[in-house]
């Protein structure tokens, strides 16, 4: 049975921190953010917003847009790494909010769980719900998968320049209008790692930034290798002599902790794909140096990190490779459009891959590209660490949805934060009733109980007309 994404909606907080102001405040060259990382604005949540109300707002948008009633939603899954409760799933909060609009008990039938595996959990949630539909369990109802996160790092840390926040809701069914997932090729890679993690009770993560970047690349490459094996085995792809995956995947959507990571990750995968093709000789001539080879051919994270000579040469090779015409052409055609939204929103953790997908649809459509039948490859990465690679094909009906997409209108009018306001919000100095913006047709957090011990942690939300 077919299954895939029928529609997608986003909810992005309207406050933002400007990269230039941020760089000035931290004594950084603004070009490090804008050119080096591809960050021009970071969406920041107001004092009356948390990841649950971001998620509920994205769900409400997709339901209203498609005129859906709760009975038409069979499952609701929430994937997040910004959880605020160790036991109660974020689903309950989201359903509680939606029932304020649709009526008490209207979602009673709609089971689901909160999923956690850093930024990759949304992809696991999509995969599980796709299989629920494929198994014929859905009784023609939709699955609603919502990915919602607030990427927040310590003040003054190197992660602080890669913050953001927002939610993406995806409607899945057996006759999707946007994208149908390819069957039997989804592939994963997993390893116990400490590249980025958030121990109990800590609001911000502990991050080993450069290590996390390298792990991302290696894990995605491992998952891609397995995807390729499955794609050949199932006959999804018929690889002719001299071809690579690049001849079979039209667009790559990468996890985007910051926009330029998509460019870096694609360069890594493209090298891997082209290395054994006849084209490689030409590429090496363009790069102007031989590709460095690690001392330990297994290429594990430990062996690569220990090989400092290789690391230095490889970084030089990557920089030169990224400038070649060969790579620039692949970059422009296969990934560039997916990176645009991230530049002005920032990291959304679980949601960033799907914001990238949304961005690719909107900006390729604006370029006049006919997307029908194009295969999208997805490279999802979550620290800790796991990668998932999967793919799908764009359906003819996508046009009715994509032609209406407009990122700016969908976000609404945004307000730039002063450094003082940003830091106050960051340090949780403002109460929910001290929000900087007035809510408009959206859910907001009203109160978190922190006095009464038998109600501690209880959250109250309201829908503001
Ligand atoms: N002008 C132009 N470019 C500049 C520049 C300047 N003045 N100064 C630096 N740059 C460039 C650098 O050359 C570098 O480019 P390359 O990546 O092409 O080499 C880029 O800007 C970034 O510079 P640094 O590598 O020196 O940056 P950093 O080490 O200070 O911090 C970071 C970067 C590690 C990503 C940090 O922001 C961080 O820790 N972020 C959080 C963790 C993270 O996002 N990890 C990503 C993988 S893990 C994951 O994906 C899960 C997740 O969502 C968190």
Which residues have C-beta within 8 Å of that of residue 255, sequence separation ≥ 6? 119, 120, 216, 220, 261, 262, 265, 352, 353, 356, 379, 380, 381, 382
- What do you get for the CA distance between the two ends of the chain, in Å? 40
Q: What pLDDT was estimated at residue 458? A: 97
Helix (H, G, I), strand (E, B) or coil at 234: coil
Q: What pLDDT was estimated at residue 446? A: 98
Q: What is the pLDDT of residues 151-201, one digit of tens each?
A: 999 999 999 999 999 999 999 999 999 999 999 999 999 999 999 999 999
CA of 255, closest atom in ligand 1: 50
Residue 209 Cβ < 6 Å to ligand 1: yes
Tokens of 260: 């330029």
CA of 260, closest atom in ligand 1: 17
Residue 254 Cβ < 6 Å to ligand 1: no
Tokens of 247: 């001849």
Helix (H, G, I), strand (E, B) or coil at 229: helix
Residue 77 Cβ < 6 Å to ligand 1: no
Residue 30 Cβ < 6 Å to ligand 1: no
Residue 31 Cβ < 6 Å to ligand 1: yes
Nearest CA owner, ligand 1 atom 17: 36
Rounded-to-integer distance, Cα 170 and Cα 4, Å: 9
Q: Structural domains in the chain?
A: 4-464 (3.40.47.10)
Tokens of 259: 């926009």
Choose one of 42, 162, 315, 352 to mutate for the ligand 1 pocket test, by most ligand atoms within 8 angstroms of C-beta.
Answer: 162
- Sites in the chain below the pLDDT cut of 70: none
Helix crossing, 308-323 with 325-334: angle to 10°? Answer: 70
Q: What pLDDT was estimated at residue 453? A: 84
Q: What is the pLDDT of residues 258-317, one digit of tens each?
A: 999 999 999 999 999 999 999 999 999 999 999 999 999 888 889 999 999 999 999 999
Distance 160 CA to ligand 1 centre (A): 11
Q: What pLDDT was estimated at residue 299? A: 82
**Residue from 68, 99, 93 nearest 80 by CA:** 93
Q: What pLDDT was estimated at residue 362? A: 98
Residue 234 Cβ < 6 Å to ligand 1: no
Residue 208 Cβ < 6 Å to ligand 1: no
pTM over 0.85: yes
CA of 319, closest atom in ligand 1: 18
């Amino acid at each position: 049975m077919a299954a895939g994404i029928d529609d997608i909606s986003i909810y992005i907080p309207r406050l933002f921190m400007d990269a230039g102001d941020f760089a000035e405040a931290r004594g950084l060259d603004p070009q490090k953010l804008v050119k080096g990382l591809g960050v021009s604005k970071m969406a920041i949540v107001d004092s009356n917003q948390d990841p649950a109300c971001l998620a509920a707002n994205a769900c409400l948008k997709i339901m209203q847009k498609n005129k859906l009633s709760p009975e038409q939603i069979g499952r609701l899954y929430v994937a997040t790494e910004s959880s605020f409760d160790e036991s109660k799933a974020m689903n309950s909060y989201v359903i509680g909010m939606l029932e304020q609009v649709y009526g008490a008990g209207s979602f009673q039938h709609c089971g689901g769980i909160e999923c956690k595996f850093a930024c990759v959990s949304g992809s696991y949630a999509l995969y599980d719900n796709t299989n629920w539909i494929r198994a014929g369990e859905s009784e023609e109802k939709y699955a609603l998968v919502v990915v919602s996160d607030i990427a927040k790092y310590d003040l003054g840390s190197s992660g602080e320049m890669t913050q953001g926040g927002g939610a993406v809701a995806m409607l899945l069914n057996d006759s999707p209008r946007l994208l149908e997932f390819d069957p039997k090729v989804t592939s994963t890679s997993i390893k116990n790692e400490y590249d980025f993690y958030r121990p109990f009770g800590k609001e911000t993560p502990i991050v080993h930034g450069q290590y996390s970047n390298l792990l991302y690349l290696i894990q995605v490459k491992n998952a891609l290798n397995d995807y390729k094996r499955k794609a050949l085995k199932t006959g999804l792809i018929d690889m002719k002599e001299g071809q690579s995956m690049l001849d079979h995947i039209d667009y790559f959507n990468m996890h985007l902790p910051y926009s330029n990571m998509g460019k870096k990750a694609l360069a890594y995968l493209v090298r891997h794909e082209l290395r054994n093709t006849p084209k490689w000789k030409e590429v090496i001539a363009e790069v102007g140096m031989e590709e460095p080879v690690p001392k330990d051919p297994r290429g594990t994270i430990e062996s690569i990190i220990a090989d400092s000579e290789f690391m230095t040469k490889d970084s030089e090779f990557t920089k030169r490779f990224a400038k070649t015409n060969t790579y620039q052409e692949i970059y422009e055609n296969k990934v560039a459009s997916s990176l645009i939204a991230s530049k002005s929103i920032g990291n959304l953790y679980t949601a960033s891959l799907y914001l990238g997908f949304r961005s690719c649809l909107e900006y390729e459509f604006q370029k006049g590209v006919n997307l029908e039948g194009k295969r999208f490859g997805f490279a999802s990465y979550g620290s800790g660490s796991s990668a998932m690679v999967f793919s799908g094909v764009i359906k003819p009906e996508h046009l009715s949805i994509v032609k209406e997409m407009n990122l700016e209108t969908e976000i609404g009018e945004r307000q730039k934060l002063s450094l003082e306001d940003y830091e106050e919000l960051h340090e949780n100095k403002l109460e929910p009733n001290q929000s900087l913006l007035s809510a408009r047709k959206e859910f907001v957090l009203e109160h978190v109980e922190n006095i009464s011990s038998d109600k501690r942690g209880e959250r109250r939300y309201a829908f503001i007309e």
